[in-house]
Structure 1
Amino acid sequence: MFMGLFDGTIDFYRQYRPGIPAIVADVLDAAVPDCQPRRLLDVGTGTGLVVEALLGRFDDIIAIDSDPGMLAAAEDALRPQLPADAQLRLQEVTAEEFTPPAGWQAELVTICRAFHWLDQAATLTRLDAQVSPDGAVAIFADNSFWTATNGWKAAIRTVIQDFLGEERRAGESLFQHHHRPYSEIMRESPFSQVEEYAVPVIRTWTADSILGYLHSTSFAAPQLFGDRLDAFDSAVRATLARYSDTDTFTEDNEFLIRIGRRDRRDR
């Protein structure tokens, strides 16, 4: 799933990837019943940003990722914050191969900024046995900088393309675009009853944090530039300077959340 895509990015990922806003966590929390125990499965957890946002709302958490470095960073970040009455298990495994403990079913499965890396139909089919009868699967993401929604983002993307080529990279390979809406894919799965929520997000960046974010991605990871990394960083800074005299860059973004449940007639 992720192995190799994020080599060299982990320190940048934890520090510069935007976290999950509280309002998004509220939507996820409200999507499933309040019960005891309340179980969460976070797929493609990375450095644990989703789990961090939902700490205190679920007391039995399994977070999976196929990148051991990401999981180590998640362990370091999450373990000190874990409530005393909560259980957290981090597992190095892909979504396509994960099997929960016997009898364990999640009230909520979260897949944030990761669904495009998965065998989507196969993952949703496997989750049918891993989600409680009244549980839900939440697939959600905000837009990356590759999706240019304003002038300075478009200019940054052009700099990346100047250094790495026109096509979006995914580590050493090219990114494989998925053109079908996720809701459509979900409606063909066991979680066919889909609700969508759009949560606006406004962020403020600096040149340093923009570069940190870029180096956390699979399309601008540091190792992709080789001995041209310093030249790339300088080009990004020079480009951004044309858009702000105060090193302040505003981004209008949104989280699009898709929550899928089983058809009640199938329960």
Structure 2
Amino acid sequence: MPDGWQWDSSLFRGSAAYYERGRLPYASGFAETLAKTLNLDGRGRFLDVGCGPGTVTLALARFFTEVVGIDPDEDMLAEAERQAERRGVTNAHWGAARAEDLPAGLGEFRVVLFAQSFHWTDRDRVAATVLEMLEPGGAFVHMSDLKNPPAEPTPLPHPAPPDAQIRELVQRYLGPVRRAGQGTLVNGTPNREDLVLARAGFENFERHVVPAGQVVNRTADDIVAWVFSHSYSAPHLFGDRLEDFERDLRAVLRQASPDSLFAEHLPPSEIMTWRKPHGGR
């Protein structure tokens, strides 16, 4: 868990409605890459911890008998249920829980995955618990966008979103230290998942990068949704200044692109896997 930070239920309050529109998707081949890496064959159970609106859970549902998504945010779970119904996914189930609540009576799993959520947890405690919840040879998966990907050679048809100006605007409203629920992240979020998983007793580490790079066109509404989908700029943080912030944000976007059209390259996805030893309990 980030140093000096305490989890609270407002971390992503109000963000669920903005996820589908605002967040860029993972690289299109991530599900197939994971299925090949783990020899998935439609059997077994899958757990997505911090599932949000079910993006990864639903993409992987066809590779398992049952998929389960847990998240502490009820709005995220409601959105996940809507998305499952819309896509006709019938083997997905959802529950309100934090990673620290595990095992929460959920039983045994073939794969447990954290998609950009592990850093919000008490990692040593959670990793040890997940080891016990996995079947022998089962996999712990950590997935995220690839950080600092190489520059893409394909030119963009529209300006890129003005990330630096957006950060400056958020800091003008919320202060220079990144917000996270009711607290702040002075030193950012932790990394070195490899050390945490090794301490817990996992082995056979593998890393895969799923290429992307496709050009994605975005509107000003998409960028606004992207801003509000993040914990550090969740709508509730702005209080009664939310309308003022959105007005100023749209002004920044108009200045960057008068026709309110933007483009960016889809980032590669990074998938890291560890295995529970076959001799483990």
Bin the TM-score by the shorter chain.
Answer: 0.7 to 0.9
Q: Is the 8 Å Cα contact of residues 204 and 249 (structure 1) preserved in structure 2?
A: yes
Which residue is equivalent to 1:186?
Answer: 197
Of the three residues 162, 176, 181, the one matched with 2:172 is: 162
Which consecutive residues of structure 1, in runs of 5 or more, have no partner in the other structure?
145-149
Which consecutive residues of structure 2, in runs of 5 or more, have no partner in the other structure?
1-6, 148-159
Which residue is equivalent to 2:121?
Answer: 118
Of the three residues 199, 202, 206, the one matched with 1:195 is: 206
Please, what is the CA RMSD of the aligned residues?
Answer: 2.6
TM-score by length of 1: 0.85
Q: Identity over aligned residues, as a percent?
A: 29
C-alpha spacing 1:53/1:21, structure 2 compared with 1 (3 Å): farther
TM-score by length of 2: 0.81
Q: Is the 8 Å Cα contact of residues 2 and 65 (structure 1) preserved in structure 2?
A: no
Q: How many angstroms does 1:151 deviate by?
A: 7.5
- The 5 A counterparts of 1:1-267 are 3-35=9-41, 37-83=43-89, 87-99=91-103, 104-142=107-145, 152-175=162-185, 177-202=188-213, 203-252=216-265, 253-263=267-277
Q: Is the 8 Å Cα contact of residues 32 and 107 (structure 1) preserved in structure 2?
A: no
Q: How many angstroms does 1:264 deviate by?
A: 6.1
Q: Is the 8 Å Cα contact of residues 32 and 134 (structure 1) preserved in structure 2?
A: no
Which letter maps to 1:216? S
Which letter maps to 2:248? A
Q: Is the 8 Å Cα contact of residues 14 and 73 (structure 1) preserved in structure 2?
A: no
C-alpha spacing 1:168/1:143, structure 2 compared with 1 (3 Å): farther
1:12-58, Cα deviation, whole Å (9 max, x unpaired): 12432333343111122223233463211111111111112113122
Q: How many angstroms does 1:64 deviate by?
A: 0.9
C-alpha spacing 1:124/1:260, structure 2 compared with 1 (3 Å): same
Which letter maps to 1:160? V
SS at match of 1:5: coil
SS at match of 1:96: helix
C-alpha spacing 1:254/1:2, structure 2 compared with 1 (3 Å): farther
Q: Is the 8 Å Cα contact of residues 5 and 218 (structure 1) preserved in structure 2?
A: yes
Q: How many angstroms does 1:217 deviate by?
A: 1.4
Question: Number of paired residues?
Answer: 259
Q: How many angstroms does 1:231 deviate by?
A: 2.3
Q: Is the 8 Å Cα contact of residues 20 and 53 (structure 1) preserved in structure 2?
A: no
1:143-178, Cα deviation, whole Å (9 max, x unpaired): 79xxxxx88212211111111111111122113623
Between stretches 154-163 and 170-179, larger displacement belongs to 170-179
